[in-house]
Amino acid sequence: MTEQADILQPLPDALDKASAALASGRLVAFPTETVYGLGASAMIDEAVAAIFEAKGRPHFNPLIVHVPDSATAAQHTVFDERASLLADTFWPGGLTLVLPRRPDTPISLLVSAGLDTMAVRCPAHPVAHALLERAGPLAAPSANASGKLSPTQATHVAASLGTGHGHLAMVLDGGECAIGLESTVIGLPLDGPATLLRPGAVPGEDVEAVLGYALAKAAPHTPNDDSTQGRSSPGQLASHYAPDAPIVLNATQFDENDVVLAFGAEPCPLPKGSLNLSPSGNLREAAAHLFSMLRLLDAVAHGKRITVMPIPMDGLGTAINDRLTRAAAPRP
């Protein structure tokens, strides 16, 4: 029989157990302010390999290394002036920086999935921070099965990965994630401009305001192309964040075949079971509800479509629309 992983409150005793489990090469799911992460000690090859196995994640898709501070990031990556400026402004928080690996870093090569770069982020959530202080750098993707919705509550992790998985020692329950969308990923190549690899929790406009110039955009990916050719952030596959029900975007008319994910004022009475991301039209509130409401609608859809009202493209709207577009893309 597989050992069951517990969902634990993040008391000091549980944090000690979690860091012991990580040191022995097991996985621990933990809360961050963006989404829950599936953590492994970034220095242990077998533990990092277990992340790919537990998620069913393609091996070409590299992982973010979470660090307690920018000094730790600078031990493992070539942390240039642009990186320092962005880290000083946005860390701890929802910004990930992709930087050249230092040749002497003991961080597992598996996190980089064959690239010569490493993604680093210092999260703000107190539980994530307490764990990083005890356990050191943690490789952690979102704690969901590959291609599925990201978890914003501890129970979502159990539902997506199954707590009976042999590698997963425990889930630390830090409540609901305040932001609810994954970090913004920025590439900082030595010889090239700062590039937006994934829109996310920190609006691209805010990063541009600090840098003083426009971010370059990542090369577009081709739908469901499984190769890394021409794609500077291998995780940006067309279909991702997918519920089971089909999704229709930018809809303003609905019928009995829809359950609606509304935003702002509702144009007409909505079909039974519909939900509103933010009745007042607030994008922060909408981001925080996005993944959990998609899960709830998926559970009641029973053959119907999830039909989503238009969401404006400013601020967090860029990242919300990015996730919805991928959720609606043809499935592999």
Q: Which residues contact ligand TXA (rule: CB under 6 A)?
A: 32, 34-35, 37, 61-64, 96, 98, 112, 115, 117-119, 121, 140-142, 182-183, 185, 197-198, 233-236
CB distance 66 to 34 below 8 Å: no
176-192 per-residue burial string, b: 16 or more CB within 10 A, e: under 16 = ebbbbbbbbbbbbeeee
State which H helix or E strand residue 168 sits in: strand 168-172
Q: Quote the least distance from Cβ 115 to ligand TXA, whole Å.
A: 5
- DSSP 8-state code for residue 269: P
Pick from Mg ion, ligand TXA, none: which does 61 bind, CB < 5 to 8 A by kind?
Answer: ligand TXA
Tell me how far apart the alpha carbons of residues 33 and 26 are, in angstroms, rounded to a whole number: 23
Q: Which does 221 bind (CB under 5 to 8 A by kind): Mg ion, ligand TXA, none?
A: none
DSSP per-residue codes, 64-94: EEE-SSHHHHHHHB---HHHHHHHHHH-SSS
For ligand TXA, give the closer residue by CB, 56 or 310. 56
Beta bridge partners of 242: none
Which does residue 34 touch among Mg ion, ligand TXA, none (CB within 5 to 8 A, set by kind)?
Answer: ligand TXA
- Is residue 27 within 8 Å of 171, Cβ to Cβ? no
Q: Which does 160 bind (CB under 5 to 8 A by kind): ligand TXA, Mg ion, none?
A: none
Decide whether 174 or 234 has the Cβ nearer to ligand TXA.
Answer: 234
Q: How many residues bind Mg ion (CB under 5 A)?
A: 1
What is the DSSP code (8-state) at residue 142? B
Closer CB to ligand TXA, residue 233 or residue 321? 233
Among 249, 123, 101, which Cα is nearest to 184's?
123
Q: How far is the CB of 233 from ligand TXA (least distance, A)?
A: 4
Q: Which of Mg ion, ligand TXA, none has residue 234 at its interface (CB below 5 to 8 Å by kind)?
A: ligand TXA
77 phi, psi to nearest 5 deg: -130, 165
Choose the contact partner of 119 out of ligand TXA, Mg ion, none; CB within 5 to 8 A by kind.
ligand TXA
Window 287-306: residues binding Mg ion (CB under 5 A): none
Kindly report whether the peptide bond that precedes residue 92 is cis, defined as omega within 30 degrees of 0. Answer: yes
Binding of Mg ion at residue 142 (CB under 5 A)? Answer: yes
152 binds Mg ion per the rule CB under 5 A: no
User: Measured from the CB atom, is 21 or 128 closer to ligand TXA?
Assistant: 128
Shortest CB 316 distance to ligand TXA, Å: 13
Bridge partner list, 248:
307
User: Taking the complex as a whole, how short is the minimal distance between the CB of residue 303 and ligand TXA, in angstroms?
Assistant: 29
Distance from the Cα of residue 329 to its chain's centroid: 18
Query: Please, which residue, 97 or 262, has the CB nearer to Mg ion?
Result: 97
At residue 248, φ and ψ (nearest 5 deg) are: -120, 135
Contact positions toward Mg ion, by CB under 5 A? Answer: 142
